[in-house]
Amino acid sequence: MSAVPLARGGLGPIVAGALMLAWPALAATVEVEVDGIEAGGPVYVALCQGGLTEASCTDGQDASAGGASRRFVFRDVEAGTYAVAAFQDMNGNRRLDRTGLGLPQEPYGFSGDAGRRARPDFARAAFGLREPGTVIRVRLVRALARR
């Protein structure tokens, strides 16, 4: 039995096609630039998919405040629709503190314009991620004046 050269057709295109289908999809990088950081506690940033709840925001990072802005990099993220949620934990309890009415008591922000004037909405924060990646800017704001 003789081998069929790839350059002449034969099984070459079929084998090449099968290899391409079996090859894993390349992933993208999401760079998140967070501005509006105050002196104080660490900044938490999460990549969210499908919603803005804790259960939907499972890929997260944190870093010390260290200046008015900070960059976070999420690598090997599959293409899809995402949103970014961020907050600064001023009291060190690793949670975004809220009032009895649900208003954030600490600096917070989202991708897009979600949460600026109304309850945050995934559709307003969402962005499409494709290869090789994207840069997202999030500005931390306070819903209430600092006490």
For residue 79, give the CATH number of its domain. 2.60.40
Give the model's pLDDT for residue 52: 94
- Specify if 95 maps to a domain: yes
Contact 72, 32 (CB under 8 A): yes
Q: What is the tally of structural domains in the chain?
A: 1
pLDDT by 10-residue block (mean), the chain, 147 residues: 46 46 70 96 97 94 95 96 97 94 94 80 94 94 84
Instruction: Provide the strand spans (E) within the chain.
Output: 28-35, 43-48, 59-63, 69-77, 80-88, 108-110, 127-129, 133-139
- Specify if 55 maps to a domain: yes
Contact 108, 143 (CB under 8 A): yes
- Specify if 145 maps to a domain: no
- Specify if 3 maps to a domain: no
Query: Which pair of structure tokens corresponds to residue 9?
Result: 């057709």
Query: Which pair of structure tokens corresponds to residue 66?
Result: 């260290």
Q: Compute how many other C-beta atoms are within 10 angstroms of the C-beta atom of residue 94.
A: 10
Give bridge partners of residue 135 from the DSSP assignment.
31
pTM, entire model: 0.80
